[in-house]
């Protein structure tokens, strides 16, 4: 499945569900269905409007469902687990940087 070029989008703050539907190549009903399982997608207003952040989330959800075969009901759980893994990776990276700095300091010390 090809990636969607967000740079070609019109410079707007919000996009309608019909614009998002045609951009992603999916039906509006699919987007509404996915909203049931991922509350972050739902607008607070009656009209469904999507900002760039929600659009990126929809793109990610589409890839998970269409490419990886994850069921819509599992999307929220999958995304939260992914966020936890990413957070853990950042912690590991910070620890490795600290270790690297300690090794540099230790190598600069003269051993007598």
Is the pTM higher than 0.75? The answer reads: no
Residue 1 lies in a domain: no
| Phi, psi for 17 (deg, rounded to 5) | -65, -30
What's the domain range around 43?
Answer: 6-108
Residue 12 lies in a domain: yes
* C-alpha distance from residue 53 to each of 38, 40, 57 (Å): 13, 10, 6
Quote the number of domains for the chain. Answer: 1
Q: What is the pLDDT of residues 61-83, one digit of tens each?
A: 898 888 888 887 778 777 776 66
Two tokens at 44? 């607070």
Q: How far apart are CA 31 and CA 48, in angstroms?
A: 10
Helices 17-24 and 28-37, packing angle to 10 deg: 100
pLDDT at residue 10 tops 80: no
Here the CATH number for the domain that contains residue 37 is 1.10.1660.10
């Amino acid at each position: 499945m090809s990636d969607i070029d967000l740079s070609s989008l019109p410079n707007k703050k919000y996009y309608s569900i019909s614009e998002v539907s045609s951009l992603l190549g999916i039906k509006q009903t699919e987007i509404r269905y996915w909203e049931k399982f991922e509350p972050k997608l739902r607008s607070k207003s009656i009209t469904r409007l999507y900002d760039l952040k929600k659009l990126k989330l929809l793109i990610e959800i589409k890839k998970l469902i269409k490419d990886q075969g994850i069921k819509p009901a599992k999307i929220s759980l999958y995304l939260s687990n992914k966020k936890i893994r990413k957070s853990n990776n950042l912690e590991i990276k910070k620890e490795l940087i600290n270790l690297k700095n300690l090794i540099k300091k230790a190598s600069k010390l003269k051993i007598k």
